[in-house]
C-alpha cells in the first residue's frame, strides 16, 4: 500500500505524468472533452506492452463489482447536479486506482 501511495504522490507532483494520465483516462473513458493529442506510438511496440494495455482495458470494462463505487452510484440520484459530477469523478478515480497495479506491471508509469 505504501508503494501505491508513493506512486500516486509521484504522479500528482509531476504535471507531465498528470497530463499523460489524464489523456489516457480520457481515451479509455471516452470523454467528450478534447484531450491533448497522444504522442505517436513507435512502430515497434512489443507484444507484452499490448497485452498490458489490453489487461488494463479489460479491468476498466469489467470493474462493475466495486462496492465503493456501487455505494456512490446508488447515492448519485439523490444528490445535486454539482455533487453528481463529483461522484462521477470519484468513481473514475476508483477505477483508475484499481488498474494501477496493471499499469505498474506494464511499465507505463
In a domain, residue 38? The reply is no
Question: What distance in Å separates the CA atoms of residue 87 and residue 69, rounded to the nearest whole number?
Answer: 9
Q: What is the pTM of this model?
A: 0.49
Question: What distance in Å separates the CA atoms of residue 91 and residue 95, rounded to the nearest whole number?
Answer: 6
Question: What distance in Å separates the CA atoms of residue 37 and residue 96, rounded to the nearest whole number?
Answer: 20
In a domain, residue 40? The reply is no
For cell 455505494, name the residue: 71
**pLDDT tens digits, 90-102:** 998 888 888 888 7
pLDDT value, residue 7? 66
**pLDDT tens digits, 6-51:** 666 676 677 777 677 677 766 666 654 555 555 555 556 667 667 7
Alpha-carbon distance values, 32 to 27, 29, 49, 86 (Å): 9, 9, 26, 17
pLDDT value, residue 15? 74
Residue 83 structural domain: 2-31+47-106
Mean pLDDT of the chain: 74
Domain count of the chain? 1
In a domain, residue 82? The reply is yes
In a domain, residue 25? The reply is yes
Amino acid at each position: 500500500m505504501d508503494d501505491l501511495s508513493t506512486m500516486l504522490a509521484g504522479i500528482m507532483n509531476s504535471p507531465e505524468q498528470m497530463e499523460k494520465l489524464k489523456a489516457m483516462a480520457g481515451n479509455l473513458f471516452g470523454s467528450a472533452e478534447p484531450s491533448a493529442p497522444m504522442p505517436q506510438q513507435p512502430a515497434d511496440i512489443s507484444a507484452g506492452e499490448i497485452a498490458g494495455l489490453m489487461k488494463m482495458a479489460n479491468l476498466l470494462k469489467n470493474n462493475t463489482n466495486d462496492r465503493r463505487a456501487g455505494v456512490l452510484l446508488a447515492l448519485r440520484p439523490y444528490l445535486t447536479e454539482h455533487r453528481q459530477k463529483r461522484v462521477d469523478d470519484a468513481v473514475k478515480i476508483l477505477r483508475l486506482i484499481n488498474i494501477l497495479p496493471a499499469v505498474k506491471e506494464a511499465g507505463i508509469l
